[in-house]
Structures are given as structure tokens and as C-alpha cells.
Amino acid sequence: MRRLDDWDATRLEGLADQYDTPLYVIDRERVRENLRRFRDAVESALPNPRVMYAAKANTGPAVLEAVLETGTEIECAARGELQRAIAAGAEPDTLRYTAVNPPAADLDYAVELASDHPELTVTAGARDTFDRLAERGYDGRVAVRVNPGIGTGHHEKVATGKDAKFGIPAEEVPAVAADLAERFELVGLHAHVGSGVLHDDLDDHCRAIETVADLARETAAHLADTPATGVDAPAAAFEFVDFGGGFGVPYRPDEAPLDLSVVAERVAAAVGELPARVELEPGRYVAADAGTLLTRVNTVKETPETTVVGVDASLATLVRPAMFDAYHAVRNVSGADRETVSASVGGPCCTSADVFCTDRPLAAPERGDLLAVGNAGAYGYELASRFHSQPLPAEVAVDGDEARVRRERETMADVTRLERD
Ligand SMILES: *Cc1c(COP(=O)(O)O)cnc(C)c1O
């Protein structure tokens, strides 16, 4: 596993000098390694599983292309993600589109895409969404997103498994599936129950998986008992059951990384006998530790309570601390050998939520120092904004000794480009 300290200081200084800050750095080799490790573990524990990358963790071309280089397919949750996966080289027939309260334009696009690429699968978690697909003449491959009534994860805002917004309530699923089997090509069941799951959350997560697997068996039996569905045996009901993503990475220094062989065994045990392919779609696990955010110190202010360190990144660059109370490691790349002080690091936004950390031990920062923020590869750039008229940062991709900017730094002209007199 990779901690923030494992990034080479000289290299990070060089990238910051060349490409300016704030700067996202993505290591493509690490993306590939994470996926291979995940796939190897899952393939050792389960017969013929399928792992997809959940694109929304990082839809930059550097990550999507690295994912495709490993032969991994992509799960998309919006029209734009489908378009970017295709632009990165994904074969449209391999794409999975998970439609959560989809805008009309997203459904139009997906239906149009599926007319030329009938292997594309649309997953939805509301009867209404299936009706909207049917209204567009769609009768292709669908999967039902279920709400198992159990959510897991590092923060209530990501525990989707019990949030009524996501999925069809478990008790309604057999009947809804029977109805869908008559109107579409029903191929799967799907649940994504949480995010940021580490070993401590594994019991809960596996209970949710068990619930979904039980529901899949119950639904398959119901489909086989309902002649109008055309399903003649439970084993013929589903091509796959997708248990979503949610696999965590250690953000804090005292957290242990997931032992993937344990995770895969536990997942396999929770799934039990299932006459369908098991699918998983990690996002964070693939991209998080492949990325770091580089930022320069603008200001150092000593106060009676703490050392206040102002940097050029902010909650507009990386919102996870402000939005999810997320912990991110912060390292002083320039002054590693200085004495340690207790520091609060934040950006130039006028809200007290704009802090990356408070009372954190940090090698005494000086103006001009380069700081690195760890695990910034997932839900970092993706959630960036232009708050305070700040242009979006650049993202540079490294791969071995190579470095290439894959998302240019915005200019003020980009920020105001759509404004009119
Ligand atoms: C966000 C999401 C994922 C990935 O979640 P991670 O916690 O990043 O692994 C997988 N599937 C669906 C449907 C999602 O919405």
C-alpha cells in the first residue's frame, strides 16, 4: 500500500516547480497496480467474477485510460461519464450505466447509445426510471438497483444502502423484477451500499451483501415461478448480481489497509451459492492513493493556540475535509527535517470550513514550502469548484519517469468564458 510519505520528495518538488500549484498528481502505474491487486484477490475467491471501475471517483483521462490498459471495464453514473469513458477508449457495449434520478438528456443519450450497442446495461433504482426508459422505446438490458435497508461507510453522507433515494425497497424487488422481465431484458440485480469500508466496517458490509444475495435468490425463485417472465429456472434468472463498490483506503496513519484476500473471502462467504456472476465496482480503492494534491504555503501565522498555515489550495480544490469531515494526511515536502509543530492548514476561502487539518503535527512550515495532501486521487478533482473565482487546478499524470499534464490549469478566461453582457 502507499502512504503519503512514499511519494518521492524531489520528484514532487520538480513537478510543483514545473507545473505550479495547486496541482493534482496522478500516478497511472499505481492505478493499474490497485486494479490488478483487487482483481487478483477477487478472482482467487470467486468463480468468474467481474470487476469494473466506478468512474465517478476520478473521470480524468489519465485514470480512465490506465483502467482500460488493465482490461477493466467501466461503470458510469451519468451521461458525461459515459461520454468520457468512450473518449478514453472504452467499447460502448462494455459500459454499465447506473441511472440515479437521471436527467432526460442522460436517458436520451443512453437509449441512443444502446440502440447501436445492445450489450450496454442500464441499472435503475426506481420504477419511474424504467417507465421513462420504456417511453423512449428502450427494451434492452436492465438491472434493478435494490435498497437493502442497510448502509455502511465512513460517513452518513455516503452510506447509500439505507437512503431511500437509492434503489427499490427490498420487499418490492421480486414483484418489480417480474414486471421488468416482461418489458425488458432483465439481466441483473445491483446494490451499492456504502463507501470507505475498512476492516472495522467489514462485518456490516458483509451483512448487507448477504441481504442482497438472499434477495437475489428470492427474486430468482419468484421469476421462475412467474410464467409470464419466461424464466424457466432460478439459475436462468440473472446474468449477474453486482454488489457495488465501497472498498476503503486508510486515510489516517493508524488505519490499516484492507487485506484484499480477507475481503474477497469474506465477500465470497457472504454471497454464498449464487447462480450468477458476482460483480464489484470499486472507485475509491482504485484511484485514492494514486493521487496527491500539491500546494504551496502562502502565509504562516503564529497564534497562542496553533500555527496557522495558509496554502494555495482550498475547499474549492479538495472539498472532502469540509464536506465529509474527511481526514487527509498532510506532509511538508520541503522541510521534512525541521522540528514538528502543531499546525492548522487551510486555504484562502472565507469560511471556517476551509481547513484541511487542525492541530496536526507538521514539520515547521515556512512561506514557500511545498505541502502534499494524501489520498487525493479519488473524489478530489471530481468535486473541485470555482468558489471564490478560483480557476480549477491542473492535473499531471506520471507514469514511471514520464510526466504529462492531462488537465490544464484553468485561467481567468476559462472561469468567465460563459459570462455575457
Ligand atoms: C460511487 C459508486 C461506486 C464506487 O464507490 P466507491 O466507494 O468509490 O468504491 C460504485 N457503484 C456505484 C453505483 C456508485 O454510485
Residues 233 and 170 both lie in one domain: yes
Whole-angstrom Cα distance, residue 251 to residue 149? 27
pLDDT for 158: 55
What's the average model confidence in pLDDT over 43-71? 97
Residues 124 and 258 both lie in one domain: yes
Residues 215 and 337 both lie in one domain: no
Residue 280 CA to ligand 1 center (angstroms) comes to 9
Within a domain: 213? yes
Q: Which amino acid is at 7?
A: W
What's the average model confidence in pLDDT over 354-361? 96
Residue 57 CA to ligand 1 center (angstroms) comes to 8
From 266, 282, 298, the end of a domain falls on: 282
| Per-residue cell: 200 | 472495522
| Per-residue cell: 409 | 490549469
Residue 374 CA to ligand 1 center (angstroms) comes to 20
Give residue ranges with CB within 6 A of ligand 1. 54, 56-57, 75, 77, 98, 192, 195, 244-247, 281-285
From 282, 304, 335, the end of a domain falls on: 282
pLDDT band at 160 (very low <50, low <70, confident <90, very high): low
Residues 6+ apart with CB under 8 A from 125: 100, 144, 145, 146, 147, 166, 167, 168, 190
Q: Which of 163, 192, 284, 375 to mutate to test the pocket of ligand 1 (most atoms within 8 A of CB)?
A: 192
pLDDT value at 1 more than 80: no
pLDDT digits (tens, 9 = 90+) for 380-407: 999 999 999 999 999 999 999 999 999 9
**What range does the domain containing 151 cover?**
91-282
pLDDT digits (tens, 9 = 90+) for 301-327: 999 989 999 999 999 999 999 999 999
Residues 215 and 358 both lie in one domain: no
Residues 121 and 268 both lie in one domain: yes
Atom 11 of ligand 1, residue of closest alpha carbon? 244
Whole-angstrom Cα distance, residue 283 to residue 153? 14
pTM score over 0.85: yes
pLDDT for 155: 57
Residues 249 and 322 both lie in one domain: no
280 forms bridges with which residues in the sheet? 51
Percent of the chain's residues with pLDDT above 70: 97
Total domain count, the chain: 2
Q: CATH no. for residue 224?
A: 3.20.20.10
Residues 274 and 296 both lie in one domain: no
- Annotated catalytic residue 350: yes
Residues 304 and 410 both lie in one domain: yes
Instruction: State which ligand 1 atom lies nearest to the alpha carbon of 378.
Output: 8
Instruction: State which ligand 1 atom lies nearest to the alpha carbon of 56.
Output: 1
Q: Which of 75, 95, 240, 260 to mutate to test the pocket of ligand 1 (most atoms within 8 A of CB)?
A: 75
For the beta carbon of residue 394, count every other beta carbon within 10 angstroms: 21
Residues 190 and 235 both lie in one domain: yes
User: For residue 190, what are the CA distances in angstroms to 37, 79, 365?
Assistant: 23, 19, 47
Selection from 31, 43, 78 nearest residue 279 by Cα: 43
Compute the mean pLDDT over every residue in the chain, rounded to the nearest whole number: 95
pLDDT for 150: 75
pLDDT band at 194 (very low <50, low <70, confident <90, very high): confident
What's the average model confidence in pLDDT over 80-95? 98
Residues 209 and 350 both lie in one domain: no
Whole-angstrom Cα distance, residue 256 to residue 168? 34
Catalytic residue among 76, 349, 350, 357: 350
Q: Which of 67, 147, 281 to mutate to test the pocket of ligand 1 (most atoms within 8 A of CB)?
A: 281
Instruction: State which ligand 1 atom lies nearest to the alpha carbon of 282.
Output: 9
pLDDT digits (tens, 9 = 90+) for 106-150: 999 999 999 999 999 999 999 999 999 999 999 999 999 999 887
pLDDT value at 378 more than 80: yes
Residue 12 CA to ligand 1 center (angstroms) comes to 29
pLDDT value at 161 more than 80: no
Instruction: State which ligand 1 atom lies nearest to the alpha carbon of 379.
Output: 8
What's the average model confidence in pLDDT over 198-220? 94
Which has more pLDDT, 1 or 187?
A: 187
What's the average model confidence in pLDDT over 342-363? 96
Q: CATH no. for residue 379?
A: 2.40.37.10
Residues 119 and 166 both lie in one domain: yes
pLDDT digits (tens, 9 = 90+) for 168-182: 999 999 999 999 999
pLDDT digits (tens, 9 = 90+) for 221-246: 999 999 999 999 999 999 999 999 99
pLDDT for 257: 95
pLDDT value at 369 more than 80: yes
From 248, 282, 316, the end of a domain falls on: 282
